[in-house]
Amino acid sequence: MPYELAEGTHWWAVHTRANFERTVQHQLDGSPVEVFLPTYRTFSRRTDRRKIITLPLFSGYLFVRVDLSRFDQRVAILRTRGVVRIVGGPNGPEPIPDDQIESVARMCQSDRLLEPWGSIERGKRVRVVSGGLAGVTGVVVDIKGKGRKLICNVELLGRAVATELKPEDVEALDRFGR
């Protein structure tokens, strides 16, 4: 069953392959599509030196302003190397309100330090993505110090072990462990 797309030019979220945000941005830059890739600055995780790098604020996503009701523009986005899909629900792609994009753009242009923050809360299942516990899953028991450290209950060998982790060291899992 075909779905209804909003008429006119709107902002849309585009899901990309891992680490393809900039590739997709560069490919769409020459087209009539307006592209917005929000980024933030952080220190790299190298052990031998500290270097400031720029990373996408929403890993795996960027935003495009285009009229998706036009077949040629929709196909141009979907055929771009690295694009997985245009984000939406069961009724098809859903536009993002302009004020939300403007807010994110204003935050990115400010001189404040930004950092991505997933919806990690007490009772949520998480997977450790870096450090010595990478790959281990657990449940968030507590968040300490204004949300700066998570205490995660990690189940190893059928026993619970509590450990403190940084928010950037974990990713949220859905109820099926993905």
Long-range pairs of 69-77 with CB within 8 A, sequence gap ≥ 24: 69/5, 69/6, 69/7, 69/8, 73/32, 73/33, 74/5, 76/31, 76/33, 77/14, 77/28, 77/33
For the segment 124-137, what is each residue's pLDDT rounded down to a tens digit? 887 777 777 777 77
* pTM metric for this prediction: 0.66
For the segment 50-82, what is each residue's pLDDT rounded down to a tens digit? 888 888 888 889 999 999 988 888 999 999 999
Q: Show pLDDT as tens, one digit a residue, over the chain (178 residues).
A: 467 788 889 999 999 999 999 999 999 998 889 999 998 887 776 777 788 888 888 888 999 999 998 888 899 999 999 999 999 888 888 898 888 888 888 888 876 666 666 566 778 887 777 777 777 777 777 777 765 566 666 655 455 666 777 777 777 776 554 5
Q: Are 10-109 and 125-172 in the same CATH fold?
A: no
Coil, helix or strand at residue 72: helix
Environment class of residue 21 by beta-carbon count within 10 Å: exposed (0-12), middle (13-18) or buried (19+)? buried
Topology adopted by domain 125-172 = SH3 type barrels. (2.30.30)
CA 56 from centroid of its chain's CA atoms: 8
| Residue 117 and residue 40 in contact, taking contact as beta carbons nearer than 8 Å | no
Domain positions in the chain are 10-109, 125-172
Environment class of residue 117 by beta-carbon count within 10 Å: exposed (0-12), middle (13-18) or buried (19+)? exposed
- Helix, strand, coil % over all residues of the chain, rounded to 5: 15, 35, 45
Query: Right CATH number for 10-109 from 3.30.70.940, 3.40.630.10, 3.40.50.20, 3.60.20.10?
Result: 3.30.70.940
